[in-house]
Structure 1
Amino acid sequence: MISRIVDNPIKTLFILFSLTIGFAYYAFFSTNKLIVDFSLEQMFPENDPERDKYDQFRSEFSREDDKFLLIYSCDDPLSRENIKKLSVIDELINKIVGVQQTTSLSNIQENEEFLFDETLDDSTWEAHKEMVLDHPLYTNLVISEDGNSGAIFVDMKDDVNNQTLRENLFKEIDIGLEIHGRDWDWYEAGIPVLRTRYVELVSKERSIFIPLGGLVVILILFFVFRQVNCVVLPMTSIFITLIWVSALMAYLGITINLISYLTYILILIIGCSNCIHILMKYHECVEQEDGNIKLAVRRVIKELGGALFLTSLTTAVGFFSLMMTNIRITQEFGFVLGVGVVLMFIVAIITIPIILLYLPSPPQHHIKRLISQSDSFSVDKIDASTKKFPYPILVLSILFLIISFIGLKSIDYNISILDDLRPGNSLYDDIMYVDKNFGGTLPLEIVISNFNSSTTNKDSSSLDNIFNLDFLTKADEFESKIEEISHIKKAISMNDYIKVIANFWEPERGMALPEYDDDIYDYLDLAPSNIGTNLFNSDSTKYRITCRVGNIRSKVADSLKVDVQSIFDEVFNGGNQEVLISGSTLLALRTQGFLIRDLTTSFILAFIIIFISMVILFRSIRLSLISILPTIIPLVAAAAIMGFSGIKLRPSTAMTFSIALGIAVDDTIHFLARFRQELKKTKDVGLAVSNSILSTGKAIIGTTLVLCMGFFTLYFSELVPNHEFGILATIILIIALISSLLLLPVLLNLFYKHKLK
């Protein structure tokens, strides 16, 4: 195989570049070309009974994720001047394509008359102000409880169900507010806002960090090799691989989405690591073969191919393990990236050596700097340290591991939906402002099914009408009690509308339910036909209470469901009713919890597969066991830093461990592969260890430098997942470098030499 590649370079390159051109056309210009889809809906699990219940809820009721609030802060939201100004803005928003209707102080009505009509006298205006501030429907919907902020409640049309349509809608709103509302402070919140602005932020990050990652890789390659061809060759290999991966994604129908966009950054960084090992080995072989490029290229492929294949395999295994999750786009991300890493190995090990055949031999001063100088990257000092301080290094490593396990126990997995954003980000600040002043923005849905009291089978055929006084009275008691739960900020149900209508006809009774069943239907007949229709299903057998909650955490969400269920059991006391507690908020928090569990399982599986792979490659259980400690320490240390620093265990950080495991173990594999080669030559463990440090140590340091700088660029991301991924990946790689070049040599010197005796 090696002979065919080296002896037929033109043919090999022709096939390679022909395939690349074909793949590029398919990926970017064909009818099946790669598309971008940053919708958050893809993050929901594929097979989950809770999602099935949520989907059933959405099929019976109007969507709860198509409404949002535009909050404005001004001197007095209820003044005549500000209501008039609001009327212009409200009318403008209602004309935007995709807006179903709006509710605001300028258009709310009582008895088919505007509540704040400009023709009202001052006393009536003041009376209406007091009424609105104490209204069960309007408070925290169009006016805050303290009266200092107003809001426009926007209901989108059902067909506005993807990122493109939402972006266009919000763009029109932004333009309108810039023209007519620039004197007010505006805030926005709600699930559509969160989805749209979050995706816009991700898209912005993609346009920044992919080019930035490429620039960092180019600068480091030039810093390490200081030769133009040693920059162009790796970038060519990476570019080819990215085209192949794009074609694979297009063929499988995998989009560039919230997770898969990281594929390009990771292949860019990981691919550069492989290229550095190839080029370092090439410089070494050129020196040993007295400038014979063909023999040097043969040796590069033969001696480095096995180790590079295993490092690519272990890295791919880390990514493939993500396929065990229950989230489709995470599964796709793991598969594509795993295949991409293997393709990167194939392309690099073929393209770079072959093109090197047509380039002049590297200048001697570069070979001397990279290979002959033992003090390059201070590897001579590292070698001396392993000989002079073996036991202190071992003891410190064990102590470090023990401390890390202590920190690991402190990891916090109590996450919230807004944990992906940091204070100072406009989306985060807007939602927190609305949480504080309007009592929460995230939806919580409660649906009560009313079954016939005479039946024992609770199915759709035995459901009973909800518009009877006995049921509505219990529902009203239930709603009153759940509103006492501190995390439920706002709740609206059909009872609220019935009370408002009853109060209009019988003001002396106040906001109360009618006294008789017949009155319920009489009042509803007098009301507008569409009033409250989204709060009960089509056959009037299910009663919906739509609530808003603040930025609750996963543990609070779990206890909240328990509390609501407990109150339901207390109020309905074994009656023929059932309750469903759902909503996108609970589903999202549940999804993250299951994803963490799946990723933890996948990490353990990846570790086992990688260990078995090392046993097969090195044909030595003892050598593989020696490698476990240097491999585990970086991962446990990163987990400890999470525990001590308060970084939460969320899907992004859990994913980091599976990914970083495959990358971090590369250093150990490269070192052990070189150690076995040197051991065959010298028959001396100590000398083999020293030679490995002085040779492969330079490549390991160089690749770690590239990987760390590449990942560390994510430190500056506005998105907390990317920010924390950059921090943790960098920490893991730095500690993996120290473990591979300090601890691993000590372990080999202390424990492996006994086997030779």
Structure 2
Amino acid sequence: AESTDLLLEVREEWSTDVGFIYIKTQNAECDYTLPLDHPEQCDRPNDVLDNITNVNVLHEISWIEGDDEKRSPGIKQNGLDWDKNDHGESDGVLWIISISQIIKEINSSNGRFNHAMCDHTGNRSTGNLIDCEALSQLPGGGGGLYAIPDEQDTIDEMVNQSNGSLGALAKDTNGDGIWDTTAVLIGIISANQIEKTGKWDDYKEFFAHVESVIDEENRPDKYRINELNMTQTGLSKILEDVSDKIYLDLLGMMPLSLFFTVLIITLLHRSWKVVIISGTPIVMALAVTFGAAVLLEMTLTPMIIATFPILIGLGVDYALHMVNRIEEVRRKRFDAAVEENERRRRKGLVPLEVPDLWDPEFYRSCVMDMSKTTGVAVLISAATTIIGFSVLILPNIVPIIPIRSVGMTLVAGILATLVFSMILVPVLIWLLKFNKRTKSPINWASISKLPVKHFAVFLLLAGAITLAGVTNLDEMDKPISGSDQTPDNIPSMQAMVEYSSTFSGGQTSLFIFDASEHVSDQDMKIRSLEVLDAMDALENRIEEVAYTNTTSLITFLEAVPVTIAEPESGITLYNGNLWGLLHDECWESNSLECAAWVPLDALSNPPGNGREELRKDMVNVAYDTLSKEVQWMLTNVDGSKALVYVTQPYMNLDNASMLRDDIDLMLDDPMEEQGIRVSPLTGGLPVSLDINEGIHDTQNYTTLLTLLILTIVLCLVFRSFRLGIYTMVPVAAIIVWQPLLMSSGDVNVNIFTAMIGTIVFGIGVDDAIHVMHRIQEEGETAVGMSKAIEKTGMTIFETTATTVAGLGAGFFVAFPGLVNFFILMMLLIGFAFLTSVFLLPACLTADHIIRRRIKGESSFIDFGEGAVLTDEKMNAVDAILE
């Protein structure tokens, strides 16, 4: 996706991983709809000590950020960004943005401003406005420390001079006039570079370090009176926490899944032996699959763990089909021998020896018979399932890497399950001497005739449901859900939701403002006033979009106060902020109000252009007045490109998409200032939207491609285009039925449900293949189809019940997105059973009836229930009335 490519371009020169520390004072807990003396009112209402701008509160926030004040030894005692000049190489933090940081920026800006006035890269005309030699003798250039001032009055003056710009970094959440909530934004080096610090191997360890720094027990005792509530959040932190929560949920689900599976198998077969027979291959296959994933250093993501019950279901499917077929073959031969002996007894012949069920040769022949029939069906179903799941691996079809990992896991898991089942099931039956003694409580002999006798009813019912599914196909285009689909009680998620609501932010996008081709005499093109003015004009347009704010170089230039006096007379030339200084009308005007500026023209050589040259130099001064971490946050090292951050609250992706399109249209408009390139939006929102689109495209492409590939494979397997099409009808039907389930208000598309189409194809086609293969074996007649359903339907029912039971453990996970995934899987697998057992034979019956009527032949539906006259050779003859 373009947004992802742009993000990679940004990451080459900037940090795009942003963390947050969401901070609330005790005042935020106050409810001013209640009287101040109400027992549920907070402990200290209207207390100015709880204002974010209180000197003690700011000192505590600064303490966890890192500043120039003396600290105790140890990385936990020196703030998160203890090295301001390391570019994140030592502490992992590139920059910090907060109300505390802005005040520290302002407090130390006069020293940097003085140095810039003397040391900038221009023609040094600015040096004529300041005594550089005297300043060189002062520590820090005569400026303040990068720290919070100790005087409350000084802080209040800085807040007042900000003209409300600090209001974007602190909020009054309960309307009492006290800023009670703020946030610290942290630019973190990328995940693949964090280990270069030598202190943390990954984000998980770094986030643990952040938690240890902001922990109340770690903060100095003198700040305990503030009682600040600090919560770490941010997209990367949330992903880490959500993944951990889901991972633990799924690990906890595994024993339940196994328990439910064992319970259903035991209830259906009334034997613990079946549990061992079907379970052993599955356990070994899972061990091989997940062991291989670990050896190949694949991350065991929640999506991979979620395949656990699916593989259990497929393993049980293969095992039970083989178990039941071996038992059926043995019983059929045993019963045939008993009947033959009865016939021989009536004729007075010597009875034959009835085979022993556990005779090695007899058992081996039964296994070989199973291998030639059901074994082939199992092999075909496994092969087609593997082919179907392999679609999830193709990078051109599936751009979402976690889904590709799931595809690889499923393919490897099914292959391992097939191999272990084929080898172990016959052996375990023999070793355990398993003999199925119970009959199914369901009368399959009667049920098996229904789809043949009443085929029209089944076709009309399936057609009506399919039509309803088609009319609801737009349900599959629902946007990927957000916080409402995450587990509850995750502090980082709750903090981000609250931050998003309070600050109308939380979803950060950005775009590149590239001035590398701009015609300017500046080496660093971003330092051109024409470039900065073009950036400002574009930002003003973007901020007209609803719920949208921007942050750039200009934001900080507007926040830093500055005062300049004429060196000879001492008259104040300017008192305001850096951005205002660069745009003061007196740079160009000779009006009476600008009389004190006119003598500056004499500073040039030759005289006359002093103000014009000085203004160019002041752009450099203004830029160099900003701290290094602010420069690193907003411009690249070469000074040819800048980033503009665009913040919006978390919102429905449909609405967010419209806002993104509006902004991208503005960014696509040609710039009036030549030589400037502006990229489309990238970052959090655009990538989320592209992932949303990618998941929907993946859902559609994988479903259609799997349908096409499996249809072709089945046509080749059954050597019939007709049978290949009919075998796919039940599976295709349930895919069309899926939108009906998605129309439920609490079911949303997510990265899990996006895989359902292909997974259901894989499981559903198994059922259809077994039914079709048995129909081919028994014959495509009314009797043959009913017998195929009677014999195969029972096994498919058992495997479906077992798989659904295993997935039923998903009800116990705390992640709504996963619960939806398992519910949909259970329902669709149930539908796969119904369509394979009832819809498939109904379609074949309709096909035969239509063709017979066209040819004028007799009725197809004949179960041989009437009397039939035969000759002495048992051939049917017509009855003749004389």
Same fold (TM over 0.5): yes
What pairs with 1:308-323 in structure 2 (closer than 5 Å)? 308-323=378-393
Cα contact 1:711–1:730 (8 A) shared by 2 = yes
Deviations 1:433-455 (A, max 9, x none): 11110221122112211144559
Task: Determine if the alignment matches structure 1 residue 172 to structure 2 residue 240.
Answer: no
Secondary structure of the 1:676 match is helix
Task: Determine if the alignment matches structure 1 residue 641 to structure 2 residue 741.
Answer: yes
Task: Determine if the alignment matches structure 1 residue 58 to structure 2 residue 11.
Answer: yes
How far off is 1:518 after superposition?
2.6
Q: 1:660 aligns with which of 760, 766, 781?
A: 760
CA distance in 2 between partners of 1:409 and 1:592 (Å):
15
CA distance in 2 between partners of 1:248 and 1:176 (Å):
43
What pairs with 1:265-664 in structure 2 (closer than 5 Å)? 265-290=309-334, 292-293=357-358, 294=363, 295-324=365-394, 325-362=398-435, 366-370=436-440, 376-380=441-445, 382-383=447-448, 385-386=450-451, 389-415=454-480, 418=483, 420-421=485-486, 426-453=491-518, 465-488=525-548, 490-503=549-562, 506-507=574-575, 512-515=580-583, 516-568=615-667, 572-573=671-672, 575-580=674-679, 581-643=681-743, 645=745, 647-664=747-764
CA distance in 2 between partners of 1:128 and 1:596 (Å):
50
Q: 1:228 aligns with which of 264, 272, 294?
A: 272
How far off is 1:184 after superposition?
5.5
Q: 2:770 aligns with which of 663, 670, 677?
A: 670
Shift in CA distance, 422/742, structure 1 to aligned 2, threshold 3 Å: same
Secondary structure of the 2:414 match is helix
Deviations 1:64-110 (A, max 9, x none): 21432323252169833675367447535754375647665566333
Task: Determine if the alignment matches structure 1 residue 111 to structure 2 residue 211.
Answer: no
Secondary structure of the 1:484 match is coil
Query: Which residue of structure 1 lines up, in the alignment, with residue 569 of structure 2?
Result: none
CA RMSD of aligned residues (A): 3.5
Query: Which residue of structure 1 lines up, in the alignment, with residue 607 of structure 2?
Result: none
Residues paired across the two proteins, number: 688
Query: Which residue of structure 1 lines up, in the alignment, with residue 167 of structure 2?
Result: 139
Q: Which moved more, 1:428-437 or 1:185-194?
A: 185-194
Q: Which moved more, 1:323-332 or 1:462-471?
A: 462-471
Cα contact 2:270–2:438 (8 A) shared by 1 = no
Task: Determine if the alignment matches structure 1 residue 207 to structure 2 residue 251.
Answer: yes
Cα contact 1:411–1:640 (8 A) shared by 2 = no
Deviations 1:106-142 (A, max 9, x none): 6633334699969536x6666566567x542x33435
Shift in CA distance, 129/167, structure 1 to aligned 2, threshold 3 Å: closer
Cα contact 2:512–2:644 (8 A) shared by 1 = yes
How far off is 1:427 after superposition?
4.6
Amino acid across the alignment from 1:239: V
Query: Which residue of structure 2 lines up, in the alignment, with residue 42 of structure 1?
Result: none
How far off is 1:54 after superposition?
1.7
Cα contact 1:502–1:513 (8 A) shared by 2 = no
CA distance in 1 between partners of 2:550 and 2:641 (Å):
16
Task: Determine if the alignment matches structure 1 residue 149 to structure 2 residue 181.
Answer: yes
The higher radius of gyration belongs to 2
Amino acid across the alignment from 1:567: M
CA distance in 1 between partners of 2:727 and 2:647 (Å):
52
How far off is 1:173 after superposition?
5.2
CA distance in 2 between partners of 1:657 and 1:462 (Å):
57
Shift in CA distance, 318/86, structure 1 to aligned 2, threshold 3 Å: farther
CA distance in 2 between partners of 1:174 and 1:224 (Å):
56
Shift in CA distance, 383/619, structure 1 to aligned 2, threshold 3 Å: same
Cα contact 2:785–2:841 (8 A) shared by 1 = yes
Secondary structure of the 1:548 match is strand
Cα contact 1:413–1:650 (8 A) shared by 2 = no
Q: 2:194 aligns with which of 160, 167, 173?
A: 160
More helix by share: 1
How far off is 1:669 after superposition?
1.4
How far off is 1:632 after superposition?
1.7
CA distance in 2 between partners of 1:427 and 1:263 (Å):
27
Cα contact 2:17–2:187 (8 A) shared by 1 = no
CA distance in 1 between partners of 2:25 and 2:380 (Å):
60
Shift in CA distance, 392/527, structure 1 to aligned 2, threshold 3 Å: closer
Amino acid across the alignment from 1:57: V
Task: Determine if the alignment matches structure 1 residue 745 to structure 2 residue 841.
Answer: yes
Q: Structure 1 unaligned runs (5+)?
A: 1-47, 371-375, 456-460
Q: Which moved more, 1:292-301 or 1:395-404?
A: 292-301
Query: Which residue of structure 2 lines up, in the alignment, with residue 71 of structure 1?
Result: 23
Shift in CA distance, 178/690, structure 1 to aligned 2, threshold 3 Å: farther
Q: Structure 2 unaligned runs (5+)?
A: 29-45, 67-74, 81-90, 109-143, 196-201, 335-355, 565-573, 584-614, 859-882
Query: Which residue of structure 1 lines up, in the alignment, with residue 306 of structure 2?
Result: 262
Calculate the TM-score normalised by the size of structure 1.
Answer: 0.81
Shift in CA distance, 524/697, structure 1 to aligned 2, threshold 3 Å: closer
Shift in CA distance, 115/49, structure 1 to aligned 2, threshold 3 Å: closer
Cα contact 1:222–1:231 (8 A) shared by 2 = yes
How far off is 1:410 after superposition?
4.0
